[in-house]
């Protein structure tokens, strides 16, 4: 079975020479020392991967990782190639839901193979980054990998910025007199879930990009070093931003629960105060409603005494509760 190719490109001496060529020509181009080949696979089957496994001498464990789902973002080193796994992300502000789109890449000396789980990973955006800096194409595979990482990390920054704006909106409504609606509570819950998922995607990327520098570094002193450092700076920014949002959202939730508890206590104090004010007149009128003689029984001054006592005690209780901020 032939591999279903979605995009192909050939760079020779730092210039784009061909694209859209069939898989049968890949082995010929890879054999040329001054050529760099990129080809993209979308949702391939095991049979599709078998062809490139033989062409690039890929390890079976790396091929198995491509066929699995929900791998941790990572950069594995094998003899003769690197295996990269990363996630692009999209965020729905209305629902607060986060979508992750998994993609993998095989990186050799003169070939980059991108493997996407589905079409939501916008490979056209990666190609635009390559076309925007054609002068860097002379650096071969490092140039192609940089464009791929830049697309992924910039997407992380865009999403964390959107989340930050929603967290600020939550802060603005924190001291509102009205209670949050069911839809607002559901959106906040979805946002908390999304932030947890996003953290699992973003944090390992720091280690992935850092792997290009440390140890037997792939990116050494050279023209591409500042570009990879820029990606690393963006990774750090997204990581720190995500951690701060996680803490802030937790604090907002705790503050919201505390304010709900305080409001409930205030309501209970008011209800209790009014109940006490109502109870005293009830007691007085109940006393004067007895069917037995009492001071002022059958006389007008008894009525006025009970009325003045009712009003006076009620005013006294009201002022006492008001002074204690119970009302």
Number of domains in the chain: 2
Structure token digits, residue 241: 């931003």
Residues 116 and 157 in one domain: yes
Sign of CA dihedral 308, 311, 314, 319: negative
Write out pLDDT tens, residues 104-114. 999 998 999 99
Residues 58 and 204 in one domain: yes
Nearest to 306 by CA among 317, 318, 316, 294: 294
- The answer to whether 81 and 58 are in contact (CB under 8 A) is yes
- pLDDT given at position 1: 42
- pLDDT given at position 2: 43
Q: Among 259, 282, 297, identify where a domain stops.
A: 259
Hey, what's the torsion of the CAs at 119, 123, 128, 134, to 10 degrees? Answer: -160
Residues 252 and 281 in one domain: no
Residues 55 and 202 in one domain: yes
Q: Spell out the residues 6+ positions from residue 87 whose beta carbon is closer than 8 angstroms to its own.
A: 73, 100, 101, 102, 103, 152, 201
Residues 161 and 276 in one domain: no
Q: By residue range, what is the domain housing residue 298?
A: 269-323
Residues 250 and 275 in one domain: no
Nearest to 88 by CA among 102, 106, 75: 102
In the chain, what percentage of residues exceed pLDDT 90? 31
Domain contains 101: yes
- pLDDT given at position 45: 84
Residues 117 and 199 in one domain: yes
Higher per-residue pLDDT: 31 or 139? 139
Inform me whether the pLDDT recorded for 315 exceeds 90.
no
Q: For residues 211 and 206, what is the distance between their CA atoms, to the nearest angstrom?
A: 9
Lowest average pLDDT, out of 19-33, 125-139, 232-246, 271-285, goes to 271-285
Write out pLDDT tens, residues 220-271. 767 888 899 999 999 999 999 988 888 877 767 666 666 667 777 777 877 7
Residues 62 and 139 in one domain: yes
Inform me whether the pLDDT recorded for 291 exceeds 70.
no
């Amino acid at each position: 079975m032939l591999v279903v190719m979605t995009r192909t490109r050939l760079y020779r001496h730092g210039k784009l020479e061909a694209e859209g060529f069939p898989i049968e020509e890949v082995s010929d181009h890879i054999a040329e020392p001054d050529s760099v080949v990129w080809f993209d696979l979308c949702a391939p089957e095991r049979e599709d991967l078998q062809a490139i496994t033989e062409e690039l001498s890929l390890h079976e464990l790396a091929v198995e990782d491509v066929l699995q789902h929900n791998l941790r973002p990572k950069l594995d080193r094998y003899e003769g190639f690197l295996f990269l796994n990363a996630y692009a992300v999209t965020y729905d502000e209305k629902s607060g839901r986060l979508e992750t789109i998994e993609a993998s890449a095989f990186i050799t000396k003169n070939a980059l193979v991108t493997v996407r789980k589905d079409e939501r990973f916008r490979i056209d955006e990666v190609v635009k980054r390559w076309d925007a800096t054609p002068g860097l194409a002379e650096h071969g595979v490092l140039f192609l990998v940089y464009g791929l990482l830049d697309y992924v990390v910039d997407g992380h920054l865009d999403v964390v910025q959107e989340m930050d704006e929603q967290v600020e909106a939550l802060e603005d409504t924190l001291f509102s007199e009205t209670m949050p609606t069911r839809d607002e509570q559901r959106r906040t819950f979805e946002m908390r879930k999304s932030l947890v998922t996003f953290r699992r995607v973003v944090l390992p990327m720091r280690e992935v990009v850092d792997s290009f520098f440390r140890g037997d570094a792939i990116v050494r002193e050279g023209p591409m070093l500042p570009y990879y450092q820029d990606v690393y700076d963006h990774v750090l920014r997204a990581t720190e931003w995500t951690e701060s949002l996680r803490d802030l959202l937790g604090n907002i939730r705790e503050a919201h629960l505390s304010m709900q508890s305080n409001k409930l206590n205030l309501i209970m104090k008011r209800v209790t105060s009014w109940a006490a004010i109502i109870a005293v007149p009830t007691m007085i009128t109940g006393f004067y409603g007895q069917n037995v003689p009492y001071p002022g029984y059958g006389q007008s001054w008894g009525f006025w005494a009970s009325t003045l006592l009712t009003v006076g005690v009620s005013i006294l209780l009201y002022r006492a509760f008001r002074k204690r901020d119970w009302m």
